[in-house]
Structure 1
Amino acid sequence: MRIYENQRPPKYIQIYEWVRGMIREGRLKVGDRIPTEPDLAKQFDSSRMTVRKAIDPLVLEGMVERRQGQGTFVVSNDIVKLTYDVSKPIRFSHEMKQVGLSHHHEVIAAKVINADKRLQQYLNLSEGARVILIKMVLYADGKPMIIERNYFSHEDYHEMLKMNLSVPPLQLLTDEFGIEVKKVKQYISAVCAGKSEMKLFGVDYPLPCIFLEWISCDEKSLPLSVSLCHYRGDSFKFKIPASELVKPDTI
């Protein structure tokens, strides 16, 4: 996924994608040494510092390993790739159990903030209303996969901040408030990770992400919470259910 309109991506992104593509396509196999920094710098007409910046994310992702005095070697081509089916919304913990991956989440922030216009609209709140923000990083197989910001009406769920947040917030709705999520509205867009997301994902480049706005509703379609989520674009793909092609005369 590339989000660079009318221009080529920066050199370090070009190098990163080229090396990563060579590994994923099997042209560089586990145990192979990747081209040296001088060779890559010459190939892409760049500096060795730019090459180093391109290779660093591959080291963090566990695909390559630097060996003192020997070079950089491929150690894995196994990047976790998950499919999210938008026609069958499911909680992250349940999804990970289905595919057999270890998982956990870390709470980064839990606080009360003023609701902006978007949250007011999604949660049917009046101007000046406050919401609880629970910001989390969700991990699969030890890797940060999703950054999730969950919002709840402070007036309705103020007790949530006193509860055990090692339990996923939507589960707290059921366990502690006796409320079941029955319906989900979803909006999907493509974005790049900002500085905050880059830090939490452990990368220093604008990682392409899939941005999911998830509105949890009760059986009457009344909103209970909003989750704004950055899914790693290099680890997730979204499945859209098949539909009949709309004919021109029906538009």
Structure 2
Amino acid sequence: MQLNTRGIPRYIQAREHISAKIRSGELRCGDRLPPEHDLAAQFGVSRMTIRKSIDGLVDAGLVYRRHGVGVFVSQSPFQRDHTHLTDFFATCRMEGHAPSAKLLKREIVAADEIQAEALQIKVGDELIRLTTLRYMDGTPITYHDAFLPLSLFPNLVDLPTADLALDKQHTWQLIENIGFGLANVVEKLKAQLADKELAEILETETGSPVLYGERVLYSEEGRPLKYARCFNRGDSYSLTVVLVK
């Protein structure tokens, strides 16, 4: 059965046609769309019209632009439940994706005012910084920057990278394995745009949407153990929260 498209703007027809190909699997994650001039010719519209169609697909998170390279199909958004501590690696595998991670930084830094307040320590106290980049199906999805009081975790300074195992576990799991009982995490989330440096790290465009989170992990005794900043690609990440009446 052929749908009646009379009265539907051409840019919407083109957008929905491409969207249907993505949702059916005909166009897969990582596939590059044909150039704008080819799509314009295919649908009998101007390049300005097809650009508007692609803008709609970008807004829907179905495709993303790489400056000077082209437009690519996004992977299906990673579903993260923020009502409790979850395992990124296990959740990825459960959704049929291949997770991985890379340790980018391990260094000792002095606490700034924000970190000191969050961790209930003094400005200038030593922290161990553990920065990781998490991937889903080979695409960077989360830049995770964690800070832990050095006084609580002195052994992490010289622990072999393989024993940190941050390529297959979270920092909270590392902390739990060290022997700390964990109680809860308090997290603040907000939407923001990627600057040039972050866009390069996440392999996306400058100005692309990012879900930013600041979180503090607490022990069973109520002591803050970790302060972290998380930058999640907006085209690859969705958030689930349960609201109880």
TM-score in terms of structure 2 length: 0.71
| TM-aligned CA distance change 1:235 to 1:58, over 3 Å | farther
Equivalent position to 1:159, from 150, 155, 160: 155
| TM-aligned CA distance change 1:181 to 1:24, over 3 Å | farther
> How far apart are the structure 2 equivalents of 1:108 and 1:22?
40
Give 1:57 shift.
Answer: 5.4
Give 1:91 shift.
Answer: 2.9
Q: Give unmatched runs, 5+ long, in structure 1.
A: 1-17, 47-53, 64-77, 245-251
Secondary structure (helix, strand or coil) at the match of 2:148 reads strand
| TM-aligned CA distance change 1:21 to 1:143, over 3 Å | farther
Give 1:58 shift.
Answer: 9.9
Letter matched to residue 121 of structure 1? E
> How far apart are the structure 2 equivalents of 1:87 and 1:218?
17
Secondary structure (helix, strand or coil) at the match of 2:174 reads helix
Give 1:123 shift.
Answer: 0.5
**CA deviations over 1:57-86 (Å, ceiling 9, x no partner):** 5967743xxxxxxxxxxxxxx622122222
Equivalent position to 1:92, from 88, 93, 99: 88
State the match for 1:26 in structure 2: 20
**CA deviations over 1:81-116 (Å, ceiling 9, x no partner):** 122222123132232233232111111111111111
Q: Give unmatched runs, 5+ long, in structure 2.
A: 1-11, 52-63
State the match for 2:233 in structure 1: 232
State the match for 1:243 in structure 2: 244
> How far apart are the structure 2 equivalents of 1:130 and 1:173?
17
Identity %, equivalent residues:
15
| TM-aligned CA distance change 1:21 to 1:159, over 3 Å | farther
State the match for 2:5 in structure 1: none
State the match for 1:81 in structure 2: 77
Give 1:127 shift.
Answer: 2.3
**CA deviations over 1:8-49 (Å, ceiling 9, x no partner):** xxxxxxxxxx9x9557632786497453179598517x9xxx
Where does 1:88-237 land on structure 2 (aligned, <5 Å)? 88-163=84-159, 164=161, 165-167=164-166, 168=169, 169-175=171-177, 177-237=178-238
CA RMSD of aligned residues (A): 3.2
**CA deviations over 1:102-137 (Å, ceiling 9, x no partner):** 111111111111111111111111122121111110
Moved more, 35-44 or 179-188: 35-44
TM-score in terms of structure 1 length: 0.69
Give 1:55 shift.
Answer: 4.7
The answer (yes or no) to whether the contact 1:60–1:202 under 8 Å persists in 2 is no
> How far apart are the structure 2 equivalents of 1:137 and 1:129?
25
**CA deviations over 1:165-188 (Å, ceiling 9, x no partner):** 33343232233x311322111111
**CA deviations over 1:153-174 (Å, ceiling 9, x no partner):** 0122122121223334323223
